[in-house]
Structure formats: C-alpha cells, structure tokens
Amino acid sequence: MNIQEELIDWAEKTVEAYHNIAKREDVNKAYYTQSDLSLLSEKPELMIVGINPGSASSYTDQCKNKNWSYLYNNPLDKNHLWKGNYCKEEGKPSSWDNHKKWKYWAGLKICISQTALSTIIDDDSKIIVTNASFFNTKKANEIPESLLLETIPYTLDLINKTIPKNIIFLSGKKCFERLYHLSKSSKQFQFKYKHICGNIFVGVLNDKFCIGIPHPAYKTNEELHLVSSVLPFLLNIRNYDDIEVELICKKCAKQIKEYESRCYNHKKSNNKQVKVLNLKSIVQQVISAIKLIAYEKKNHRYMLNEKYGITITDSNKGYIGIRHVNYDHKGYEVLQDQEALDLKEMLKKRGYKTTDKAWIGTKPIKEFGYKDDEIVSKIVSEINEIVELVNKDY
C-alpha cells in the first residue's frame, strides 16, 4: 500500500475506536486530528505532537455543530478524521487552513528557524501535526490518564504507518513525564527520556528517537531562541545514547544564560510585587473612595444596593467579594434567583470566581495590578461600575 492507502486504513480503524469511546456517557468529548493527512504524498519530514486539542466541547455537540455541518448529525467518519481539523465557520477558512495565523505556529517557526525543517514547515505534504489523544479539553492537564492510555495507541499507529523522519513533542517536561508514566501502565509502548537544558528533552518512544520542547504558544523570546539553538544538534544526532548533553550546553551557553536570567528576573519581579503590596492601606483607601453605606463596618461590608453588598478585606491575601446583604448560612440557597445568576455571569466576565453558595463572586486584590495606587484606582472603578450594573436591568 502507498502512504495514502495506509492512512485511509488507519483512519477507518481509528475513527471506529474513537467513536465507541466518545459515545460513552463518561467521555462524550469531541475529537479530531489537526493537519490534513490527505495532502501527504510521502513519508513526512516532521511530525509535531501535542498532548491533546485545546478546546472543550462534547461529541454530541460536535456532531450537531453547524461548523461541522457535513456530519449532518451523523458520527465522525474516516473521511472527516483523515481530513484533520476541518471545523469551518461559514465564509471563513477551516481551523487547519487558518493555522499559519496561530500564535503557536509563529513560535514554532522560531524554534526550527536554524534547521532544515524551516524550509518545509508550511508544506502540508511534508508534515503531520497531531496529538497524543484526539479528545479535546480546554487544558492539557484535564485530559484523563485513562483516556490518554486508551487512545495513544492510535497515534503510535499513525507514527508506525507514516514513519516520520523527525518527531517533536510539545509541552516538554509535562508531556514526557506523562508519556513515561503511561508507559509503565501499557504493554503497547515503551518510553524513556533525559533532560538537555531548559524545558528541552530527548526520548525514545518504541525505539523511535523524539524531541520534547516547550509548547511555543506563549513563551518568551529567550526560551524560543534557546530551543532554536539546541534543535540543530538534536536533529543531527539521531541516536539517543550518543547525545553529549555537556557539549550541547557548552555550545549553547549564551542562550542558556539568557533563558535562565529571564526566568530568575521574572521570579524575582513577582516576589517583589507581592512584597510591596500594603493590603491594609489598599483596603482603607478603597473604602475612603467608594462612599458606600456600611452594613457591617467591622468586616468592611458595604451596600451596593438594598439587595447586594460588597466586602473589601485584607484577609486571606486580600480580596473583594459580593453576596446578598441578608446573607444567611441556612437560608442562602433560596436567594439564588435569576437575577443573582445574571449577576454571576456578569462577574465571571470580569474575572470573578463564582460559587453556588456563600459568595456570588470573589476576586483577589492582586489581580487588579502590581502597585498600591494602581490597584486602588482599578478596584474603585470596578466597584463604581458594578454599583451601576446592579441598580439597573442586566
């Protein structure tokens, strides 16, 4: 069989297995691959593997979603799986067609900029972009170990059928730690790995050499440039046991120093920001500025209107919290009417944590800025805006 015949055969077996898993009530997650496998004409030069797609929808909704409309409420089939992430809004390119505008794609191109892969990265006939599991969750750490263990064999089968020349896993240590842990519970694959520098690793997955790098979506220039400096050495070595970590670190010493300096300064800056906050002063300044009527002065609780109040406190690292004025531990749940639910939705959009009991919404003081005067100004503005909102219809 040629590579397209291999891929169609793989898609048929894989979609049948995924469908049976996805339709289970305890799973019901949407699934898809990324790049368009129908465009491959030969063994790929590069396979890029993430942990799982970064979205959050159910399989039921996926089959009904108008952006996946040519399913027509039918389950995903081999032709759609084979075509990758084809989710498409009317009049717009599909998700995969738009991938060159993704933030992580720009970061990835920096990572491979000093290698021969930079000449083929935009050629869909020479690359595969996929995931260890095709089931989507908003964050990679939300994909259960059981689902990874159940689905990774189909990604391994994709590797075996296409035999990519280079394999790069994203998310560095997090990804390799999970692969190593999973390999201990699976008879279908073996995995070992070792650290190079920064968040860069090398591993052996069922006798295939692979590289682990940080996910390039939101990384600093220093980290991306460190990866770009190290990758040429790793892609040329090919043999796990022959890698001279000390030699690589010596040749990339400048980039390693810049990366470590950025990490140190960032940590130092964060620590400094936390230390300079004077929470008691911030609370007192906010209280003086808002001019609201106190209904429980001792605990800094003030009326937004006759129904809702706001607490401004330096307790528990400082926060502001909104709840009913006549809050009662035993009878509070009966106050969760539609108006309160609408208020919660409004607060969520402003970054508040909401709960079914106790607080309608809370927000840490530190999320308003890094300096006392900046925080005071932003909290006062926020409270004034919320006062206006709770005194009119949502």
pLDDT at 190 over 60: yes
pLDDT for the residue 214: 96
Question: pLDDT for 253-295, tens place per residue?
Answer: 999 999 999 887 766 656 555 456 789 999 999 999 998 999 9
- Mark whether 196 and 318 lie in a shared domain: no
| Domain total in the chain | 2
User: What CATH number has the domain bearing residue 382?
Assistant: 3.90.1150
- Mark whether 228 and 287 lie in a shared domain: no
- Mark whether 292 and 259 lie in a shared domain: no
Q: Which domain holds residue 201?
A: 3-268
**Residue after which a domain boundary falls, among 227, 246, 268:** 268
Q: What is the mean pLDDT of residues 141-168?
A: 95
- Mark whether 232 and 138 lie in a shared domain: yes
Where residue 358 falls among pLDDT bands split at 50, 70, 90? Answer: confident
- Greater confidence, 325 or 201? 201
pLDDT for the residue 330: 59
Least confident range from 6-20, 195-209, 305-319: namely 305-319
- Mark whether 34 and 165 lie in a shared domain: yes
Residue 142 within any structural domain of the chain = yes
Residue 43 within any structural domain of the chain = yes
- Mark whether 253 and 328 lie in a shared domain: no
- Greater confidence, 175 or 264? 175
- Mark whether 139 and 36 lie in a shared domain: yes
Residue 273 within any structural domain of the chain = no
Mean residue pLDDT of the chain comes to: 88
Q: Whole-model pTM?
A: 0.69
- Mark whether 118 and 47 lie in a shared domain: yes
Tell me which range, 193-197, 328-332, 364-368, is most confidently predicted by mean pLDDT: 193-197
CA distance 353 to 157: 42
